A and B are shown apart, each in its own frame.
Chain A
């Protein structure tokens, strides 16, 4: 109901805290282990300890290497940061952080807590194994060093044995994690997944470190412990088993092997860690940083191009047109492929994989970005020597990939390292449309219709007021005195199926005696389709025009609320119009209707047929604005209705296929997104699908036409707006606007 994001975000916050508390358990395991063993102190193990640098001469070489290793890592990251700094500075990178608590929360939960990684069970466990193993083994090593330097011996007796046990367990956990990761790459099929040398170097290196660590431990036990203090060895179970495997080897030979492996292990560890500056291992540092840097505005919001008439370029066609954050983000990607696995275009076999867009841009940033940095350093023109490079937009990233994006945000929602693919894709679309004027014919037609007629529905036989023909007297005209303006929107006015929804909303508002009005004949598009299609300039012109109308008619007032039944209008008004000077409140019809039902102003007790309904989340209502429950709670209160869910629902809901201006494009690829979604709805066995978006309804209707081609009309899936169902259940005859 208000612009405050806090109330809306409660649902996801509660589920998040549960995940994080579960995550905290492994962190307590090591400490608990040590305490447990200390508690069971017995005389036999009182002297248990191990000799630091046992059997090793010249160990100081390691300490000499350490500064070099750190230097190499820092050099790699700094060199990379020069490519990031080709981008435009954002207020973020000037240190102006809005919503600091939210950012810190993300840093802790999403960065350190790897909250989103855990959402996929297999790779969640794999990652958790590797991560906890690395952290514990690092702490174990650090503790050993501390113990060496402080005068008191901590790691003696039972404390030492507990310590040894914990180290062994987490070494084993690490090996399990690495094995899962290797298996993942060999065995488990994933659509978007492509292992490269980086994967094998990081995993191979880590596996080698863990294995050589155990070999070194086993040889130490074999040569110095197993015969003298066998009962100590049981507390190093993995090392003990390795020691038994070496039991036939003479001690002198074993000592030589021990020395060799010790050096392999140590030099290997120091070499491996330098990957931090040169490979996707850098996600250890960059992913938490990206969690902190991610925008805190609504995910569906697109940023405005300020002073657009004075810009030297429109949108992004060159690397340096991106913001620093957008270039930085490319390096954060670890190629996990979850974005692509969740992308409606990819699911339907269409030419878009968000992961490949990010990865291709990353390769481009490496090749071309570093040349540009060199040009800057040498004082050359930024593009010197780059004439033969394929263009970034249209070459590295293909036009059809940019057009296939639904801006549904499934990729952004799924990304465990908080990359924001959608603004990056739309920025490149902006260049296609405004800079190059290169777009599919149907997009051009839509933009021309928006320019000329103020709506996107080319060829419609209707006018703005066609939907109220014959019932004009039942539709109150907006006077500026009412509480609510019902903004019908272009789809609600120009598309016959959506006109029915408009009339349902009016009936419900009349039934509940809501003080509302409609601006007859004068509405125009708020600019959302133009903006999603990349025509920011046309968006701004349309938005300025509509805000002027709202100013003239008294709508643009903090005391007034605009009702919209279109999630796209809703998102634009709520999240994007404040940038254009909007002050009014915004409410989606499902929010208002839920409120009216709760207040008893709408009583759903008319007889409606018994039916099973599945609710389809509109991306711009659900994922982008966190309204998942209001429409469901309305459905639950309609008698005779049983609500069932599709496997992909709420945050993971699949787009209907219309988003991002794809309502007005021809789809390219194996299948259509709406057909995939209709198949999912049909598979639930529901008789009807309910949604709260006029675009979703059209996409479902056309999808049912092909998916259920051979099904009798009466048995076909029915598609309803929540308002239409509630109208049937709650509106009395004399309030029906029909």
Chain B
């Protein structure tokens, strides 16, 4: 069974809050010193899901597509080290400054360029902007059935049985192939690459594709094609005030707490 996984490189979510800075004027996140960007954790789980599908079906390929600057190659290499077969890097100055729509458009063209596989997998959302829309837009653009926020994926003859995480439990559904899946963190930890695979991945060629390779006009993608306009980017500040409720007995303290909560109009 052939699978394509779309992955995104993001600033390491483990970056301590103190090291997280934005440039409010340029409306950009400033990279933290000494901390390398990483593959979005949900996307690493998407690669894990793809590799398990490949293993379960016994044949096929797992290919990786990522759209982003030079450094996005590391996210592709990480996926290759995990065991993916080929990597494709959508790299073009014209892609810069895009939104979920332009990203999904470019990805869908790339997928058509490579041939629509049996299964297309995304992370449920990129862990930096947390929009969670690219997978669904690609499904629409390619006119494919999709299931989002999955905690389990199983091959079931020709179809695929998945389990979605929903507000009040799990929803199990069957999908035909080809289809689009987005993987949630409940799926489980991605594998840690073996050193030999890391070294093989380092030597592997990643194919670069530009907007014109995909038949896209620069006006359709990147900042020019964006449908989302950003008006401001800033770090919200929150002030925490602590008040210790005094009292000699637990009853007095509780009464004090109730009064304080009433004053704050919480009760």
User: A-side interface residues toward B, CB under 8 Å?
Assistant: 309, 314, 433-437, 439, 441, 444, 447-449, 451-454, 458-464, 466, 521-522, 524, 537
Contact = CB atoms under 8 A, between A and B. Distances in A.
B34 A462 contact: no
A391 to B, nearest CB: 16
A435 B194 CA distance: 6
B16 A460 contact: yes
Given A452-B38, A454-B34, A521-B33, A463 B16 contact: yes
B14 interface: yes
Contacts of B193: 437
Given A461-B18, A466-B18, A522 B34 contact: yes
Given A452-B38, A453-B34, A463-B18, A314 B195 contact: yes
16 contacts: A314-B195, A314-B196, A434-B194, A436-B194, A437-B193, A441-B189, A448-B192, A451-B36, A452-B36, A453-B34, A458-B14, A461-B16, A463-B16, A464-B34, A521-B33, A537-B195
A182 to B, nearest CB: 51
B14 A462 contact: no
A437 B193 CA distance: 6
A490 B14 CA distance: 16
Contacts of B33: 521
Contacts of A433: 195
A449 B14 contact: yes
Interface string B165-203: 000000000000000000000000101111110110000
Q: 6 tightest CB-CB pairs across the interface, nearest first?
A: A434-B195, A437-B192, A437-B194, A444-B192, A463-B19, A461-B16
A434 B199 CA distance: 11
Contacts of B192: 437, 439, 444, 447-448
B14 A459 contact: yes
B17 A461 contact: yes
Contacts of A309: 199
B22 interface: no
B245 interface: no
Contacts of B191: 437
B107 to A, nearest CB: 25
A466 B191 CA distance: 33
Contacts of B36: 451-453
Contacts of B34: 453-454, 464, 521-522, 524
Nearest to A451: B36
B48 to A, nearest CB: 13
Contacts of A454: 34-35
B220 interface: no
A491 to B, nearest CB: 15
B136 to A, nearest CB: 29
Given A447-B192, A452-B14, 14 more contacts: A314-B196, A434-B196, A435-B196, A439-B192, A452-B12, A452-B35, A452-B38, A453-B15, A453-B36, A459-B14, A462-B18, A521-B33, A522-B34, A537-B195
A701 B168 CA distance: 42
Contacts of A522: 34
Interface in B27-49: 33-36, 38
Interface centre among A458, A463, A464 (most CB of B within 10 A): A463
A457 B14 CA distance: 10
Nearest to A453: B35
Interface in B192-226: 192-196, 198-199
Given A309-B199, A435-B194, A537-B195, A453 B12 contact: yes
A5 to B, nearest CB: 32
A89 to B, nearest CB: 24
Interface in B1-32: 12, 14-19
Nearest to B15: A453
B167 to A, nearest CB: 28
Contacts of A435: 194-196
A419 to B, nearest CB: 28
Contacts of A524: 34
Contacts of B19: 463
A95 to B, nearest CB: 33
Contacts of B199: 309
A439 B17 CA distance: 29
A622 to B, nearest CB: 33
Nearest to A309: B199
Contacts of B14: 449, 452-453, 458-459
Contacts of A460: 16
A692 B19 CA distance: 30
A314 B16 CA distance: 33
Nearest to A308: B195
Nearest to A524: B34
A528 B141 CA distance: 50
Nearest to B17: A461
A679 B198 CA distance: 45
B188 to A, nearest CB: 11
A578 B19 CA distance: 33
A437 B48 CA distance: 14
Contacts of B38: 452
Contacts of B194: 434-437
Contacts of B12: 452-453
Contacts of A434: 194-196
B259 to A, nearest CB: 31
Contacts of A451: 36
Nearest to A522: B34
Nearest to A441: B189
Nearest to B12: A452
A405 to B, nearest CB: 20
Nearest to A535: B195
Nearest to B199: A309
A441 B19 CA distance: 26
Contacts of B195: 314, 433-435, 437, 537
Contacts of B196: 314, 434-435
Contacts of A462: 16, 18
A179 to B, nearest CB: 54
Contacts of A441: 189
A544 to B, nearest CB: 15
Interface centre among A309, A437, A466 (most CB of B within 10 A): A437
B106 to A, nearest CB: 27
B78 to A, nearest CB: 10
Nearest to A449: B14
Nearest to B33: A521
A522 B35 CA distance: 11
Contacts of A464: 34
Nearest to B37: A452
Interface centre among B38, B192, B195 (most CB of A within 10 A): B195
Nearest to A444: B192
A470 to B, nearest CB: 14
Nearest to B18: A463
A435 B192 CA distance: 11
A316 to B, nearest CB: 14
Nearest to B198: A537
A463 B33 CA distance: 10
A522 to B, nearest CB: 7
Contacts of A458: 14
A466 B35 CA distance: 16
Interface centre among B19, B192, B196 (most CB of A within 10 A): B192
A722 B111 CA distance: 62
Interface string B237-256: 00000000000000000000
A451 B39 CA distance: 13
A708 B194 CA distance: 43
A548 to B, nearest CB: 14
B134 to A, nearest CB: 24
A537 B18 CA distance: 30
Interface string B98-116: 0000000000000000000
A437 B199 CA distance: 14
A444 B189 CA distance: 10
